[in-house]
Structure 1
């Protein structure tokens, strides 16, 4: 009999509740999922605290999740919090209040553990092979990189280069981002992910596997333009044509807020987040000589579900 599991991923931008059945072969059958655009990092992600209104939205979301768990007869849920909570001075206060008001115990995980769960998710989706790949998970507060194949991890790290964090520091109006600011971002990346560059030179991954919302957005935009179906709830992956993918990144980087708002297939939450995701993705592809790009729809929450069955 498959076992029913519930996990909550408390991210900087979105909270995810996933209830699923997992069989002995690690197949995931989704029973219920609910994604809420809490924006926990809004107003405080770069200041080291959770702002008051964001804090309240987070608590309210967890109270709602508790009610949904009751509906499905589940008392236990494995909940994790990542960058927005672990980097906040009032992060422990948020964890304590969440438990008091919702009964949900939050496990605070570091970036390396987060990377492991992301790897578990990609592996469970079946997108890894014997070839070496680079997994990239762009969150709101941090980005995780994993160099791996289906059998092992060669390198993993987490960096405070999430899309919300970068937006707060580098994008202050609705105009197209300047070339000077892009250069400034590249300098930041060069400094922050120097060890990743060295690991890429050592292990030579040729495929970039993107997980989480930004890469789902890239896939949705391109699939919409090609009249193809992309449904992150039904598909485990989406293969890009490398030229089309590079063209989309260039288009996003050159665009202003209104132009991104008009992009078919892009949800409002990611109108500006996708700009920073595109700049970071393009930089990563440049240092890695990437030849193939894939979106994997399994990420942290699926990795949590699968890890809990081990």
Structure 2
């Protein structure tokens, strides 16, 4: 019995659509896999509401998604909204408008649930083993951290310190001034105190980055080494050497917007936010003394897929 379904991840920065078919053996055929820079948090995240322009962009994108969903005759649609919508004063109205205009029923998920779904997605990419890992998923609105291994979650928490929020707060000039980098790290030290305590308890061996920023870092790293295989097909699991990460990080800190855009592998929709996101990566590696980075191309939407087919609670 094959089942065709559409998964929508409405992130603060990016909206993802996956239209896929899964057969009874669990083999997947993807028909549509798209990500669009909707920037739902732009102009509103720090004010606690979805700004009118972002609201319209999102509705237009979801109408386009609906057309594709109908074209492929999908019977099951699961749409998830995360940090921006759950914290927006007009979030509920937004969800009602989406339903009215597209017939898509959106679930607003809390940070705990988001972290759990990310875990299932990352686990299905094959990057986890019996050692303890720290998964990090950097969104525009929130960042999820999960301490886990391939068998279970030991601890998880979502923090409202996403790249769009950090950008509004610390990105005062381009390139970012050194004192703003330090200010962001000082802020993270305070905000991530519960994570610091959990890391001391569970002692993760490595960092596992979930999609988004980490995919782009891997793309830049591969092209830098003259390897363009990732442009043809993105692997579910990758490794990023710490030294290679730091070469890219230094570049991101010292280049201007246009210079970053010229880096092979850089996506225009990430060109500024990746600076703030990379500072979080640096902070986590340094503070928790992690010596290895693995990357999962799978995250929330693949977690929903796992849950839909495996029937997790």
Tell me whether the two structures share a fold, i.e. TM-score over 0.5: yes
Partners of 2:201 and 2:26 lie apart in 1 by 32
CA contact (8 A) 2:5 2:75 kept: no
Q: Distance in 2 between matches of 1:287 and 1:27?
A: 40
Query: 1:20: how far off?
Result: 1.4
TM-superposed deviation, 1:80: 0.5
SS where residue 74 of structure 1 aligns? coil
Q: Flag the 1:87–1:262 CA change in 2: closer, same or farther, 3 A.
A: same
Structure 2 spans left out of the alignment, 5+ residues: none
The CA deviation at 1:4 is 1.9
Match of 2:95 in 1: 95
Q: Report the counterpart of residue 212 of structure 1 in structure 2.
A: 211
Counterparts of 1:202 and 1:34 in 2: how far apart (Å)?
Answer: 39
2:131 equivalent in structure 1: 131
The verdict on how the C-alpha distance between 1:289 and 1:79 changes in structure 2, with shifts beyond 3 A counting, is: same
Residue matched to 2:116: 116
Structure 2: how far apart are the matches of 1:232 and 1:52?
Answer: 37
Q: Which moved more, 1:287-296 or 1:100-109?
A: 287-296
Consecutive unaligned residues of structure 1, counting only runs of 5 or more, are none
| SS at 2:265 equivalent | coil
Could you say what secondary structure the match of 2:195 adopts? helix
CA deviation vs aligned residue, 1:238-279 (integer Å, no higher than 9, x gap):
211221112222221233223212211101111101100110
Give yes or no for the alignment of 1:296 onto 2:296: yes
Q: Secondary structure at the match of 1:308?
A: helix
Q: Is the 8 A contact 1:95 1:106 kept in 2?
A: yes
Q: Distance in 2 between matches of 1:146 and 1:198?
A: 13
Using the size of structure 1 for normalisation, the TM-score is 0.96
Deviations 1:140-187 (A, max 9, x none): 1110010100000011111111111111111133x2212211111111
How far has the Cα of 1:233 moved from its partner? 5.2
Count of residue pairs the alignment pairs up: 309
Contact 1:134–1:148 (8 Å) recurs in 2: yes
Aligned to 1:258: 258
Normalised by the size of structure 2, how large is the TM-score?
0.95
Q: What does residue range 1-310 of structure 1 map to in structure 2 within 5 Å?
A: 1-23=1-23, 26-173=26-173, 175-228=174-227, 229-231=229-231, 234-309=234-309, 310=311
Aligned Cα RMSD in Å? 1.4
Cα 1:20/1:232, change in 2 over 3 Å: farther
